[in-house]
């Protein structure tokens, strides 16, 4: 493993180490699950201090690329939620609007539902159905947490990591609106009915219907969110 890495200037910043590791991942010389060398050996191979190395490794962990394994050092391990959280912060700085986020959802999630209907396994269908059942009677933050799990399981059934990941920052950006919407009278129950129709289409392996039902669900959510925005503006 140490043969993959090349020495960097001792005066180099941790950024040089980060870029080297990222390059090895992009070029598929490092893949998910690979362990990095022990810190002492790794620092010696790179020609840097262990403190400089640790700073680089911590930065990559915060980006959702590495993980620190208790007692066994560092490993390449993607953390999609951490990476999506960083993207959500970026989008906040870009002043992404509610309309833009819902447009993005409408462009991706109906396709995700279609693929889930076509590709899901019986086990995945059972998981999505169970997630829907757990949402019953919930509202506010608890409902939104369960709703996120529901949509994530549908995305997992679609078996496309890029589409699955694209959902995470949009869900995060909409969290406050989603909580407010779920607290509206009857909104959570209406959402549950829509979820049920999506599941029925996925169960029937009807991709066309799953796509339509998911699109209708997102359009209805957008309407509920806009209603809240209008009321808040009064």
Domain ranges of the chain: 2-78, 82-232
Task: Give the model's pLDDT for residue 1.
Answer: 63
| Pick from 80, 67, 63: nearest CA to 156 | 80
Tell the burial category of 46 from Cβ atoms under 10 Å away from its Cβ (0-12, 13-18, 19+): buried
Q: Nearest 5°: CA angle at 162, between 36 and 37?
A: 0
Q: What is the spatial distance between Cα 191 and Cα 147, in angstroms, rounded to a whole number? A: 9
Planar angle of CA 82, 86, 90, nearest 5 degrees: 165
- What's the confidence (pLDDT) of residue 6? 81
Bridge-partner residues for 66, per DSSP?
76
Q: Which residues contact 118 (CB under 8 A, 6 or more apart)?
A: 205, 207
What is the rounded average pLDDT of the residues 193-200?
A: 98
Phi, psi of 80 (to 5 degrees): -60, -35
Cα angle 90, 83, 87 (rounded to 5 degrees) comes to 15
What is the separation of C-alpha 53 from the centre of its chain, rounded to a whole number of angstroms?
28
Please give the pLDDT value at position 181. 94
Instruction: Specify whether domain 2-78 bears CATH 1.10.10.10.
Output: yes
Three-state DSSP state, 68: strand
Alpha-carbon distance of 175 to 63, in angstroms, equals: 21
* The predicted structure's pLDDT at residue 232: 63
The yes-or-no answer to whether 2-78 and 82-232 have a common fold is: no
Output the CA torsion sign for 89, 90, 95, 101: negative
Is residue 71's pLDDT more than 90?
no
Distance CA 178, CA 147 (A): 9
Residue 39: CB partners within 8 Å, gap ≥ 6?
A: 50, 53, 54, 73, 74
The pTM score is 0.82
Residue 10's pLDDT band (cuts 50, 70, 90): low
Q: Which CATH architecture has domain 82-232?
A: Up-down Bundle (1.20)
Report the pLDDT value the prediction gives residue 171, as an integer from 0 to 100: 94
DSSP 66: E
Average per-residue pLDDT for the chain = 92
């Amino acid at each position: 493993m140490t043969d993959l890495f090349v020495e960097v200037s001792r005066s180099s910043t941790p950024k040089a180490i980060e870029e080297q590791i990222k390059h090895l991942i992009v070029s598929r010389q490092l893949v998910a699950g690979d362990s990095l060398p022990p810190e002492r050996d790794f620092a010696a191979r790179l020609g840097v201090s262990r403190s400089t190395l640790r700073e680089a490794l911590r930065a990559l962990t915060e980006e959702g690329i590495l993980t620190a394994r208790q007692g066994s050092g560092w490993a390449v391990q993607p953390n999609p939620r951490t990476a999506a959280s960083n993207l959500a912060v970026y989008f906040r700085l870009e002043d992404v609007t509610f309309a833009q986020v819902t447009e993005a959802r409408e462009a991706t999630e109906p396709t995700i539902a279609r693929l889930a209907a076509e590709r899901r396994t019986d086990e995945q269908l059972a998981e999505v159905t169970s997630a829907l059942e757990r949402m019953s009677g919930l509202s506010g933050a608890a409902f939104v947490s369960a709703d996120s799990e529901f949509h994530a399981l549908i995305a997992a059934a679609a078996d496309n990591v890029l589409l699955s990941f694209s959902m995470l920052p949009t869900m995060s950006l909409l969290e406050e609106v989603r909580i407010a919407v779920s607290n509206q009278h009857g909104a959570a129950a209406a959402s549950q009915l829509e979820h049920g129709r999506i599941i029925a289409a996925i169960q029937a392996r009807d991709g066309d219907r799953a796509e339509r039902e998911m699109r209708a669900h997102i359009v209805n959510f957008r309407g509920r969110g806009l209603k809240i925005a209008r009321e808040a503006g009064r």
